[in-house]
C-alpha cells in the first residue's frame, strides 16, 4: 500500500497541473471503485466541476471541487492516478476516467480493485477521518504530541507506529526507517521510551518521510506517480529490505523479524533491545531462528 510519501508526492504533482482544470466527463469501468453512490450519479455530480485544490490526509488524496465538495481517493493496495494525454495508449487496469477540459484524462487504475473513489461534502470529513492520528509533517506534530500519542501503549513500538490512530500515514517502510534513525529496537515497548528517545523518534519519523518524498517514494511493483514513473527511494533506504547487508553506520548485518505480521528490518547493533528487558531480544532470536 502507498504510504504518506508516495501519496504526498502524487499530491504535489497534481497541484502543479490540476487546479483550474474542469472535469468534462467521468467514465466508470469498475462500478465498485465508486463508493457511496451509483456510478451514473457520481458522473453527473462530478462532470462540469472545476478542481480548485489538491490535498492529502494520511494516505488519502483530496481533490476539492468548485462547489466545495471533495473527491476522496484511497489507492489502497495497487491503485494509481495516471495523467493520460490524448495520444497516449490507455493505461492498463483503468477503473475510472476523468476527462479534463484540455483533452487530457486522469485515469484511476487498480489491478486488484481494492481502492475507492468517493464524493463527499466538506462537513463529512471530520467523521470520515475521526480515527486518524496527527499528520507527522505538520507543525502541530511535536515530540510532546508524539509522547502523548504513545502514552499508555505497552505494545512493540513498531506495531504502535503502524496504528493509524497514533500517527497518520506512517506504514511499514517508513516505520522501519524511522526506528533505525532513532536507534530504537522495533520490539521495544512504546511505553518504555524515554523523552530523549521520543525526541529522536520524532526526528526519525519526519526525516524518513521527508527523504521518501524527495525521492518520489519507495515504489516497487505497480505503484507509480501521475506520469507512470516509479520513485527511487528504495535506493536510499537504510534498513528496509536490506536483510543480510551491512549496516550503513556500523557494518553489522541487517536483520529481519516479523512484528505485527509485517516484515521488520533493523540493525542489531545500532538498535539494541531495551537493557531493562530481555523480551525484545528473545523475541527477535525466536523470529530469526524461525526464518
Domain boundary among 102, 128, 154: 128
Model pLDDT, residue 67: 98
- Kindly report, residue by residue over 100-109, the tens digit of the pLDDT: 999 999 999 9
Model pLDDT, residue 85: 92
Q: Given a cut of 80, is residue 275 above it in pLDDT? A: no
Domain boundary among 83, 98, 128: 128
Whether 197 is in a domain gets the answer yes
Domain boundary among 97, 128, 159: 128
Torsion angles phi and psi, residue 28, rounded to 5: -105, 125
- What is the mean predicted confidence (pLDDT) over 220-249? 93
Q: What letter would DSSP give residue 125? A: H
Q: What letter would DSSP give residue 191? A: G
Taking the whole predicted model, whether its pTM rises above 0.85 is answered as yes
Q: Given a cut of 90, is residue 221 above it in pLDDT? A: no
The partner residues of 265 in beta bridges, in order of sequence, read: 256
Active site (catalytic) residues: 2-3, 59, 262
| Residue range(s) defining the domain that contains residue 276 | 143-290
- Kindly report, residue by residue over 36-94, the tens digit of the pLDDT: 999 999 999 999 999 999 999 999 999 999 999 999 999 998 999 999 998 899 999 99
Model pLDDT, residue 95: 98
Model pLDDT, residue 120: 97
Do 148 and 280 sit in the same domain of this protein?
A: yes
Task: Tell me the C-alpha distance between 97 and 109, whole Å.
Answer: 9
Amino acid at each position: 500500500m502507498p504510504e504518506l510519501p508516495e501519496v504526498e508526492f502524487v499530491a504535489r504533482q497534481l497541484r502543479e497541473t490540476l487546479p483550474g482544470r474542469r472535469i468534462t466527463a467521468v467514465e466508470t469501468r469498475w462500478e465498485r471503485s465508486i463508493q457511496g453512490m451509483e456510478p451514473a450519479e457520481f458522473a453527473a455530480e462530478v462532470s462540469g466541476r472545476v478542481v480548485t485544490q489538491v490535498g492529502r490526509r494520511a494516505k488519502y488524496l483530496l481533490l476539492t471541487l468548485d462547489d466545495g465538495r471533495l473527491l476522496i481517493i484511497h489507492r489502497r493496495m495497487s491503485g494509481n492516478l495516471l495523467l493520460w494525454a490524448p495520444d497516449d495508449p490507455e493505461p492498463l487496469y483503468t477503473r475510472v476516467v476523468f476527462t479534463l477540459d484540455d483533452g487530457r484524462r486522469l485515469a484511476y487504475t487498480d489491478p486488484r480493485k481494492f481502492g475507492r473513489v468517493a464524493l463527499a461534502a466538506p462537513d463529512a470529513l471530520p467523521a470520515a477521518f475521526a480515527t486518524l492520528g496527527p499528520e507527522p509533517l505538520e507543525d502541530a506534530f511535536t515530540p510532546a504530541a508524539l509522547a502523548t500519542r504513545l502514552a499508555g501503549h505497552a505494545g512493540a513500538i513498531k506495531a504502535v507506529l503502524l496504528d493509524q490512530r497514533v500517527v497518520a500515514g506512517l506504514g511499514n517502510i517508513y516505520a522501519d526507517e524511522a526506528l533505525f534513525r532513532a536507534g530504537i529496537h522495533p520490539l521495544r515497548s512504546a511505553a518504555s521510551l524515554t523523552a530523549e528517545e521520543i525526541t529522536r523518534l520524532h526526528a526519525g519519523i519526519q526525516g524518513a518521510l521527508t527523504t521518501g518524498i524527495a525521492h518520489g517514494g519507495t515504489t516497487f511493483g505497480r505503484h507509480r506517480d501521475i506520469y507512470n514513473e516509479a520513485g527511487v527511494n528504495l535506493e536510499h533506504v537504510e534498513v528496509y529490505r536490506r536483510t543480510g547487508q551491512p549496516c550503513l553506520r556500523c557494518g553489522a548485518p541487517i536483520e529481519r523479524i516479523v512484528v505485527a505480521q509485517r516484515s521488520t528490518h533493523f540493525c542489531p547493533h545500532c538498535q539494541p533491545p531495551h537493557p531493562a528487558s530481555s523480551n525484545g531480544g528473545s523475541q527477535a532470536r525466536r523470529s530469526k531462528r524461525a526464518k
